[in-house]
Structure 1
Amino acid sequence: MQAQRPAAGWANSFNGRLAFLALSILINSFFNALTVSTHLGSAIWTASAVSLSGWLHVSLGNILFLEGVIVAFVNLLLLGRFDYFRLVRNLLFITPFSYLLAFFERIFVALGVPTLPLGWRIAFDVIGLFGVACAVSLYQRANLIMHPNDDMPYILRFRFLHGSPVTSQWLSNVPPLALVLLVFAFTHQLFSFGWGTLYNILTQGAIIGWADKHFLPILHHHLDIKN
């Protein structure tokens, strides 16, 4: 126990939280891109962005960025106050994440992930969705800057739902699911929406709760939610 205390102190200092934040952005963009490249279904917010990108013929990076900006303002409504610094932090997260995801997705396509046998793509999709949930847990705990799409369930979880990661995740899935259905109504196509997306909807909250305790547990939750 004595040997762990200095490490725990560093992990929960500003510099430690910043390091974990940078790691989580890389993990999140990498694994989100992997799920997109499998064509078996990505995380629901990513699926909504891919759907809008396919429908509107706008680059995925730009759609991810614009979607994040809109959600950032919705989060302020959920908070019930205009938190300027929270808005800036949300916007700071969007830029590297959006374009890193698009960059990694092009790499996975170039490597031939979309053409792999079905069994390999299923395995990569599951691994990717697990990695996404672990990354979300990591930067929710660091709580320096956060993607607006993941700040939404964070706000719901600690302001309205008594800390429940599962219920908050399910509620936050309603807007992106509505976007996917809207695009389907106009195009009759599903973009990056498949069994993996349904798996994500059902399991991400539970995996985040697991990751809070088991994935780099040295990092604790740093809450700034007021009821």
Structure 2
Amino acid sequence: MQKPTAPQSSLSLLGMFAFSLMLNGFGNGLTVALNLGSALWTASAVNLSHMFAARLSWVLLIEGVAVVVVNALILGQVDWRRILGNFLYMVPFSFLVSGWANLIRLTPIMTWPLAVRVGLDLIGVVCIGSAVSVYQRVNIMLHPNDDFMQIIRFRFLHGNAAAAQPASFIPPITISLICWALTKQLFAVNIGTLFSLVAQGAVVGMADRFVFPKLKHRHLHV
């Protein structure tokens, strides 16, 4: 676990949080638009949206609500400040992902060579991992999925991001498999999904060291 350092100013913390929110939305939107493999939680939401013919933004929102409940059960308490932060993050994030994906689909990116698109998809996953690292450390408010990962990371795995991220992916993997079993179709699962499963935790750990390296985890209550 990282040791605390001198506190950051409120303005710098807000700036880093805003940067991470946009980066997270862009990375997820890019992987959704490319359809070469999204991060596991996003992929599960995409498959649910296809199965129920529902808007992705709403599925992301509902999925997040379910994870809020799971987090409270793991912590053994209802922390209303934490839950409010989850919702305040989740609502703009859900629409950012959908908005970025729709915007990217309007560009010529889908006509580019497959190798280039695969590379961009992997970059999208790296963007997601880097964004998670930043806003987990800022810890003003978290998306429930990444709060879930952080709880597992620091409560059960001694701060090991590389182990915590795959463990936190068990629920979305299960959701995607159920959707596939029921519909015989699988969306947003490809090489990028495998990269996310194997490497996203390591990306978070590396970003902890190299993206805003002076920023350490704040206000951990796990």
Settle same-fold status: TM greater than 0.5.
yes
Over residues 25-70 of structure 1, what are the superposed CA-to-partner deviations in whole Å (9 max), with x where a residue is unaligned?
A: 1000011111111111010000001000111010011111111111
SS at match of 1:121: helix
Asked whether the equivalents of residues 161 and 168 of structure 1 are also in contact (C-alpha less than 8 Å), the reply is yes
Separation in structure 2 between the aligned mates of residue 116 and residue 45 of structure 1, nearest angstrom: 26
Tell me what 1:194 maps to. 190
CA-CA distance at 1:9 after TM superposition: 5.6
Over residues 144-195 of structure 1, what are the superposed CA-to-partner deviations in whole Å (9 max), with x where a residue is unaligned?
A: 1000010101001111111111111111000000000010001111110111
Alignment of 1:164-183 (within 5 A): 164-183=160-179
Question: Number of residue pairs matched?
Answer: 218
Over residues 51-106 of structure 1, what are the superposed CA-to-partner deviations in whole Å (9 max), with x where a residue is unaligned?
A: 00111010011111111111111111111111111011001100110001100100
CA-CA distance at 1:115 after TM superposition: 3.2
Separation in structure 2 between the aligned mates of residue 151 and residue 86 of structure 1, nearest angstrom: 9
Tell me what 2:147 maps to. 151
Alignment of 1:1-40 (within 5 A): 12-40=8-36
- Identical pairs, percent: 41
Which segment drifts farther, 206-215 or 30-39?
30-39
The one of 61, 81, 90 aligned to 1:94? 90
Asked whether the equivalents of residues 169 and 204 of structure 1 are also in contact (C-alpha less than 8 Å), the reply is yes
SS at match of 1:224: coil
CA-CA distance at 1:140 after TM superposition: 0.3
Tell me what 1:141 maps to. 137
Q: CA RMSD in A?
A: 1.3
The one of 91, 103, 109 aligned to 1:107? 103
Tell me what 1:67 maps to. 63
CA-CA distance at 1:223 after TM superposition: 3.2
Which runs of 5 or more structure 2 residues have no equivalent in the other structure? none
Would you say 1:208 and 2:204 are equivalent positions?
Answer: yes
Asked whether the equivalents of residues 48 and 180 of structure 1 are also in contact (C-alpha less than 8 Å), the reply is yes
The one of 44, 51, 55 aligned to 1:48? 44
Tell me what 1:4 maps to. none
Moved over 4 A (4+): none
Which runs of 5 or more structure 1 residues have no equivalent in the other structure? 1-7
Amino acid at match of 2:61: F
Separation in structure 2 between the aligned mates of residue 173 and residue 62 of structure 1, nearest angstrom: 20
SS at match of 2:212: coil
